[in-house]
């Protein structure tokens, strides 16, 4: 069982066979249980070090843990300075995936509740704002075109936005990095253009045709897999960089390794990300239950081994050990997120037109008279602090500083702590599916890193290598 070694610091001890792993974000060491006991005593200040190396190990763990806490706190308090502009162009889509989290937005749009397409003037205004921040930070401007629907439906607008934001980045003297997230049902000419003009194309595909066509059918009915396969081929032939995002449902859990093989062999993908289907509030789709976490993890890890054997990378957004991160809120990732109804929102899950219940209020609005986009700095600050707070149930967990927790099924910015997650009959918070998966995966990866024996730092003959990395806090393209 994983234990925290010192109150107030994220330093953990994980038993691993006859040894123990000592872990804090960015640092781990494999030691004997006796050495772990001694490091524990040193950390809580109840004993002298029996050897200088053990004293140094305790000091290093403390240093890394304090640095991680300091970085995270500074990040929550820093002024919001977005480096990435994410735009949901519209809620229109040419597929009819039963699990779609923006289907409610589409229904609202169909009822005339919200404008269907974003105004380009807003995109230009926000792009200028983001480019100024990038110039101050001397970093690249990131554009992510996404959809609460399918962005390529508005093809001419995609081209214009790419050209306009490139020009804005140029004027600001910063590089431009463009990402488009697409369902792949696009004309060949568009696929070829995307490959040549975006730095990264993220294709959504749920696996071999039998899965893809059931989970992601065309809006009017019919198979989408032939389009996806053709688009992937066109992207490859035009020299594009491709990543694939796959939604795993309870029906496809045991097929994760097979899905990796298909994405690699047929689509030519080397980068993949799996995401369990979201439970949409008020939605009717089948979602995962907490007692399915171990089953899911077993098959996810098998898929990761399959990916590695093929020279591919299969990632998981819920826990990223090489980053300090919290829930998926765009403003925790220095991202300004625009939706078709003209709002800037802190939440990737809000696609415009959704019922307002449980969804954070907008953090910015288009001022049509001034012709400028205005951000609500106070609201942004409050949201960041609330969403970045560590829930009480997470304080003793080794994922404390790198976990999306149960977002988006639980909203850490709007839900009161007592409403976060399911309850036992006694009213105590019960970990949900995502929490249990995140914890098991992190433990598995940490144990694997300890056993792999990367760069060595030896504290005794029996002490095994230490692995270190620098947690990153920069956005790395779309996570969802
Ligand atoms: S949500 Fe679960 S896995 Fe994540 S930090 Fe909290 S307790 Fe740990
Ligand atoms: S914590 Fe809430 S606001 Fe943030 S991404 Fe999750 S659901 Fe959205």
Regions of the chain where pLDDT drops below 50: 354-356, 425, 454-480
348 lines ligand 2 (CB under 6 A): yes
Residues 250 and 358 in one domain: yes
Is 96 domain-assigned? yes
Is the dihedral angle over the CA atoms 461, 464, 470, 471 positive or is it negative?
A: negative
The CATH number of residue 124's host domain is 3.20.20.70
Question: What's the confidence (pLDDT) of residue 217?
Answer: 97
Is 459 domain-assigned? yes
3-state helix, strand, coil in the chain (%, to 5): 40, 20, 40
Task: Answer with the one of 380, 398, 432 that is the final residue of a domain.
Answer: 380
Is 460 domain-assigned? yes
Residues 68 and 205 in one domain: no
The tally of domains found in the chain comes to 2
Q: What is the CA radius of gyration of the chain?
A: 23
Question: What's the confidence (pLDDT) of residue 95?
Answer: 94
Is 475 domain-assigned? no
Is 124 domain-assigned? yes
Query: 211 pairs with which residues across the strands?
Result: none
User: Measured between alpha carbons, how far is 205 from 387 in angstroms, rounded to an integer?
Assistant: 30
Instruction: For residue 337, give the H/E element and its range.
Output: strand 335-338
Residues 187 and 242 in one domain: yes
Residues 170 and 312 in one domain: yes
Task: Answer with the one of 380, 398, 429 that is the final residue of a domain.
Answer: 380
Question: What's the confidence (pLDDT) of residue 460?
Answer: 37
Question: What's the confidence (pLDDT) of residue 355?
Answer: 46
Instruction: For residue 446, give the H/E element and its range.
Output: helix 433-452
Range of the domain at 15: 3-76+389-468
Sort strands 176-182 and 429-430 into parallel, antiparallel or unpaired: unpaired
Is 477 domain-assigned? no
Question: What's the confidence (pLDDT) of residue 285?
Answer: 64
User: Measured between alpha carbons, how far is 338 from 115 in angstroms, rounded to an integer?
Assistant: 13
Residues 364 and 283 in one domain: yes
Residue closest via CA to ligand 2's atom 4 equals 329
Residues 335 and 252 in one domain: yes
Is 478 domain-assigned? no
Residue closest via CA to ligand 1's atom 1 equals 405
User: Measured between alpha carbons, how far is 304 from 2 in angstroms, rounded to an integer?
Assistant: 23
Question: What's the confidence (pLDDT) of residue 108?
Answer: 53
Ligand 2 atom with the shortest distance to the CA of 360: 3
User: Measured between alpha carbons, how far is 345 from 331 in angstroms, rounded to an integer?
Assistant: 8
Ligand 1 atom with the shortest distance to the CA of 406: 1
Residues 9 and 157 in one domain: no
Is the dihedral angle over the CA atoms 145, 149, 155, 157 positive or is it negative?
A: negative
Ligand located closest to 411 CA:
2
Side-chain-facing half-sphere of 410: CA atoms under 13 Å:
24
Question: What's the confidence (pLDDT) of residue 53?
Answer: 84
Residues 70 and 106 in one domain: no
Q: What is the reported pTM? A: 0.90
Which residue from 10, 401, 411, 435 has its CB within 8 A of the most atoms of ligand 1, so it is best to mutate? Answer: 435
399 lines ligand 1 (CB under 6 A): yes
User: Measured between alpha carbons, how far is 83 from 135 in angstroms, rounded to an integer?
Assistant: 9
Residues 68 and 105 in one domain: no
Ligand located closest to 345 CA:
2
Task: Answer with the one of 330, 355, 380 that is the final residue of a domain.
Answer: 380
Residues 127 and 224 in one domain: yes
Residues 310 and 334 in one domain: yes
Cα of 70 vs centre of ligand 2, distance in Å, is 23
Question: What's the confidence (pLDDT) of residue 358?
Answer: 58
Residue closest via CA to ligand 1's atom 6 equals 394
Is 480 domain-assigned? no
Residues 72 and 112 in one domain: no
Cα of 339 vs centre of ligand 2, distance in Å, is 15
């Amino acid at each position: 069982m994983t234990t925290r070694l010192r109150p107030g610091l994220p330093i953990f001890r994980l038993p691993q066979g006859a040894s123990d792993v000592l872990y804090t974000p960015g640092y781990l060491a494999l030691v004997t249980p006796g050495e772990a006991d001694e490091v524990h005593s040193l950390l809580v200040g109840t004993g002298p070090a029996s050897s200088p190396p053990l004293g140094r190990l305790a000091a290093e763990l403390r240093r890394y843990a304090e640095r991680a806490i300091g970085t995270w706190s500074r990040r929550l308090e820093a002024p919001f300075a977005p480096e990435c502009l994410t735009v949901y162009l519209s809620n229109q889509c040419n597929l009819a995936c039963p699990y779609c989290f923006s289907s409610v937005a589409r229904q609202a749009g169909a009822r005339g509740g919200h404008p269907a397409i974003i105004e380009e003037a807003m995109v230009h205004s926000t792009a200028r704002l983001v480019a100024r921040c990038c110039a101050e930070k001397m970093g690249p401007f990131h554009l992510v075109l996404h959809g609460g629907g399918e962005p390529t439906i508005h093809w001419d607008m995609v081209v214009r936005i790419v050209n306009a934001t490139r020009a804005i980045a140029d004027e600001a003297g910063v590089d431009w990095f463009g990402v488009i997230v697409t369902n792949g049902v696009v004309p060949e000419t568009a696929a070829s253009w995307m490959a040549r003009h975006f730095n990264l194309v993220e294709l959504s595909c749920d696996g071999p045709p039998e899965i893809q066509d059931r989970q992601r059918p065309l809006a009017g009915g019919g198979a989408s897999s032939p389009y996806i396969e053709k688009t992937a081929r066109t992207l490859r032939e035009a020299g594009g960089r491709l990543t694939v995002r796959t939604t795993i449902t309870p029906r496809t859990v045991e097929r994760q390794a097979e899905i990796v093989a298909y994405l690699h062999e047929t689509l030519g993908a080397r980068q993949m990300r799996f995401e369990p289907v979201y439970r949409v509030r008020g939605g009717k789709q089948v979602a995962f239950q907490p007692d399915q976490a171990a089953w899911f993890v077993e098959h996810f890890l098998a898929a990761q081994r399959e990916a590695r054997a093929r020279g591919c990378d299969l990632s998981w957004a819920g826990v990223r050990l090489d980053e300090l991160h919290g829930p998926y809120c765009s403003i925790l990732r220095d991202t300004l997120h625009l939706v078709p109804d003209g709002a800037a929102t802190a939440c990737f899950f809000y696609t415009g037109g959704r019922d307002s219940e449980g969804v954070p209020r907008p953090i910015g609005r288009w001022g049509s008279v001034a012709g400028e986009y205005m951000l609500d700095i106070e609201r942004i600050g409050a949201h960041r602090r609330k969403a970045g707070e560590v829930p009480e149930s997470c304080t003793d967990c080794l994922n404390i500083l790198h976990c999306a927790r149960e977002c988006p099924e639980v909203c850490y910015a709007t839900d009161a702590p007592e409403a976060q997650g399911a309850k036992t009959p006694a009213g105590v918070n019960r970990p949900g599916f995502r929490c249990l998966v995140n914890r098991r995966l992190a433990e598995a990866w940490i144990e694997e890193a300890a056993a792999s024996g990367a760069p060595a730092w030896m504290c005794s003959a029996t002490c095994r290598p230490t692995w270190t990395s620098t947690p990153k806090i920069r956005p790395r393209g779309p996570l969802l």
